[in-house]
Amino acid sequence: MLRLQVLKSRTRNFSQRRLKSSSSFIRNTFIDYFKDNHGHKHIKSSSVVPLCDPTVPFVNAGMNQFKGVFLGVVDAPCSRAVNSQKCIRVGGKHNDLDLVGMDGHHHTFFEMLGNWSFGDYYKKEACQMAWNLLLGPYKLKPENLLVTYFEGDAIIGLQEDRECRDIWKEIGVQSSHIKAHGARDNFWEMGLTGPCGPCTEIHYINPDGSLTEIWNIVFIQCNREADGSVTALRRQHVDTGMGLERMTALLQGVPSNYDTDLFRPLINVIEKNSKGVSPYSASYKSDAAVDRAYRRLADHARMIGACLADGVFPSSSLNLKQIMRKSFKISSEVFQNPNLLSLLYNELMITLGDTYPELVSREKEAKLIIDHENDSYIKLRENLAKKWRDLVKMYPEVEELNDVDLAGFALGYKEFKESMSKVNSSIIPGELVFKLYDTHGFQEDIIERIAKLNNLEIDKKGFWKLLSNHKSRHKTAFKEQTTKKGIMFDKAIEKLNENGIKKTDDQPKYDFTELGDEILFKPLKSKLVALLNEDGEWLDFSEPCEDKPYYIVSESSNFFCEEGGQIADDGLIHFNGNVNFKVDSVFKIRDIIFHKGNFVLNKVSDSYVKLGNSVVLEINREKRLNVMINHTGVHLLNAAIRKVLPNSVICQTGSSVTDKYFTLNLSVYGEKLSQKVVLEAQDLIKESIESNAMVQTKVIDSTQLSSEPGVLTVPGETYPEVGIRLVTIAPPLVSKELCCGTHARRAAALRALCVVRVRGARGHAPALSALAGHAALQARELFCRAQKLAEVIELADPERVKDEASSIKKELSELCGEGGAPYGEYADCLQLLANLQKKATNKNDLALQAIAQSEVQEACQNAIREGRRFTVHFLRCSYLMQSEAVRDTLGAGDRRLPALLLGCAGGVVVATARVPQEMVTPMFTAEKWLSCLLPIFKATILPPTSDRSLLTHAEMSATKVSLINCEQLVQDSMRVAIKYAQSHVKEFDVDKENSTQNRQQN
């Protein structure tokens, strides 16, 4: 496909009639022409992230949202369509990132104007419509246009498209303006696989004779298979594409896309808000680094804005995160204004907001994310500095990559060098490329730069195949498919396909009936179609063996395999009264469900199992029921958190649903999670449970999604073209999510829900763990036990209280699991139990505490009597006490002079520093004094409380130490504390101060 730079000399020819050719006019004219004149339906641009296509990271062409239609998987929304589609090219086969800013026409984000025929009109009508638009509303001259068509390709197995050639002649195009080209220019493919076909292109002839491609009309009649072959589609379609940016440059008579009204306003914003940088001069010379930076930042701002407006999150899109970092780097280092991206978003709303209103409606969310990512980038740069210096010492060549901002770059580059030193090849293996991409987060352009720097080539085909497999492969299947087993599974699937079995019918997994309050799962009758041994070898028949695993495939299955974060079912497959199969795990490979487990023989039998046997599949009812309840709990919690945090931007990054508990992983920008937020979210869920809100599941196709507003999806998750399950929970807490999991039919089935742990609550990526159903009720029962214990503590025996509190804590720990800090009611309960145990300290402990308090008091008074300005003391009897009791004791003593007190209880060191207010100086505060001990114990300062300031009272976090080393650590810390105080405490006469206070009181 030809594309040469539009020349400046063209400007004079068009200056008189380009006054009204704004980008909006060009876009609207295109849409109105096909809608009003040729009966096309205007289809709204889809999101820049493909919902149902794992083969591309972003929508990279106008036809992406219609791929399922071209493949015959879903019905077309209409017979003719027209739209302006937002497109992004920063990964995969179509990757323009390296060229952005280098010339005037490559972009990461662009708009593709297109018209489609879904089995309606074909070549003649498509060519005629395009020609009439160019010569009519756009007023181009036929002598300035040249068309190309497909000359055929022996490798593909397609002949010359003479039909297309003759159509152009009939339209009136001169033979000298019709050229034939090969597959490279005139055979269009969206990716490594998928719909494709010959195309015809319309080019503008520049005054110097060079060509600018302005329109591509694709005749989609083929499909590129995974093995590289090309097969015919059932129906023929037309897909046309005309780049708005390129056409705008042509009709506005400007030398490049960056001189159009789509980019110039953005460049003006950069000029006005930069420091010490010359204005944009539109130079494309090799030394025009600043002009390249203008173009690159303007381009990236459009791509970033489009992504954020469509709900793409940097946390789930490596490409977006890296381009944002590139933009922050340009903004800060070239234009000396780190806030340029937010200012450019304002301009983007003006230039594109009317066409894509989501840019305006999501402004607040977009700017929250921009600000957060900018702060993260600044911290990243600070942390990378030392790692980068060390890497350059080892591999000096990486100095040429000093613009790369990746947290894992140093580690990844080291692994790359070490791996390639063991490979006698000038090609980076696809496996290594994939690891750099998937494990270390290297973008494809960075990997290509690394390859060039080291004079190596890249196995791109191998990498793209691994990437495609990774996106479509099931987790459990991935674990099962070792190199040997993977081949065996593939052979088994091929054999099944040959036998007419293309997929396992697993729709029965959603079937159940309600009988009053009871939920019943009816066993499923099916037929055994594949039996594999533990090595994945195909067996036509076998004597069942109890001590070896097997893999079973049946025609249909009611077992849920691990998908959408939900764990797989387990259960039994019954062959007969004597032979059963205990299913331990279930997974899917290429639409075939494999049941893994062991045979269970009720008595010694000489029977065989063989293909064609009738079997009955019975799932574990209790496990499935708990899983259903917990999965509905995930949806309710997701909706509740969003409702409680209306001013935050929240993205679900994943979830995990088991029969014991569930977790919800989020990205949160803006106000973060807190105890208050979690408890308010639980209250909303409680309302939904009490109102017995309906949970409805509807099956839709991808083309129906546009008519379902407010549907939540997981960014980066790929959904099927057909059979998408939309799960909706009715008010009071509305939830609408695409989900393949199993759910309860009413919220009341949950009975209760409580969040018990949160990992990273105050951070950007919290993970909430929660209980629902019977487990939640168990937790609530334990919370209640703790409350009842608090009510009778004054009457109860101290030892009984301590035993009961310990028992409750143990049961809660087993129920609530590990991972993250206790939260919600669980955290409140643990605090209550700690207080109860503290109050229940037996008499011996009280006696010890009294002795300890006297020891501290005496140490302080001795210091005053001896005229010392401070005291540093270690509490000897603390070894016999509890750490909390020691901390309380250290808070006692004479407060007339500075005191730093330490204690060690059961191998846990605690320390407190106190400084009278009148003795506080900038260099001598309780916090600074105590801080000199922190490196010795590797501890931290506890946060201040509402009733004390770190200036006058500081406490060190309780730190576990070895009793063998404790004495030495304490001595070292006391020496450091004494030395610090001697250097910084100011002279202060305690007796004189006391006398002054007494006179004031009298």
- Which residues make up each annotated binding site? 631, 635, 739, 743
**Which residues lie closer than 8 Å to 381 by C-beta, 6 or more apart?**
405
What distance in Å separates the CA atoms of residue 24 and residue 30, rounded to the nearest whole number?
A: 10
What distance in Å separates the CA atoms of residue 205 and residue 144, rounded to the nearest whole number?
A: 5
**Which residues make up each annotated binding site for Zn(2+)?**
631, 635, 739, 743
Amino acid at 883: S
Residue 47 DSSP code: P
Alpha helices, DSSP H only, in 47-122? Answer: 67-70
Alpha helices, DSSP H only, in 738-797? Answer: 774-791
**CA-angle at 733, arms to 730 and 736, nearest 5°:** 60
The alpha-carbon radius of gyration of the chain (Å, integer) is 35
- DSSP string for residues in 425-463: -SEE-HHHHHHHHHTS---HHHHHHHHHHTT-EE-HHHH
Q: Which residues pair with 81 in a beta bridge?
A: 41, 116
HSE (side-chain half, CA atoms, 13 Å) at 824: 24
**Checking phi first, is residue 349 left (phi over 0); if not, alpha (psi -120 to 50) or beta?**
alpha
Question: By three-state DSSP, how is residue 884 classified?
Answer: helix
Question: By three-state DSSP, how is residue 182 classified?
Answer: coil
Beta strands in 533-620 (DSSP E): 538-539, 541-542, 549-554, 571-574, 579-589, 592-601, 609-610, 614-619
Strand 821-822 relative to strand 187-189, pairing? unpaired
Look at the chain and count its residues.
1002
Provide long-range contacts, Cβ within 8 A and 24+ apart, for 729-732. Answer: 729/632, 729/635, 729/636, 729/639, 729/688, 729/693, 729/694, 729/695, 729/696, 730/693, 730/694, 730/695, 730/696, 731/691, 731/693, 732/684, 732/687, 732/688, 732/691, 732/693
Q: Are 217 and 197 in contact (CB under 8 A)?
A: no
What distance in Å separates the CA atoms of residue 517 and residue 695, rounded to the nearest whole number?
A: 15
Give the CA-trace dihedral at 190, 193, 197, 198, to 10 degrees: 70
Question: By three-state DSSP, how is residue 212 classified?
Answer: strand
Residue for token pair 């909390």: 884
Considering only CA atoms, which of 510, 581, 515, 572 is closest in space to residue 548? 581
Q: Which residues pair with 772 in a beta bridge?
A: 753
Residue 662 has a CB neighbour count (10 Å cut-off) of: 26
- Pull the structure tokens for residue 469: 């497999």
Measure the N-to-C terminal CA separation of the chain; round to a whole number of Å. Answer: 99
What distance in Å separates the CA atoms of residue 673 and residue 665, rounded to the nearest whole number?
A: 12
Quick one: how many helices (H) and strands (E) in the chain? Answer: 30, 35
What distance in Å separates the CA atoms of residue 91 and residue 50, rounded to the nearest whole number?
A: 13
- Phi/psi for 483 (5° steps) reads -55, -45
Residue 333 DSSP code: I
Residue for token pair 């509807």: 698
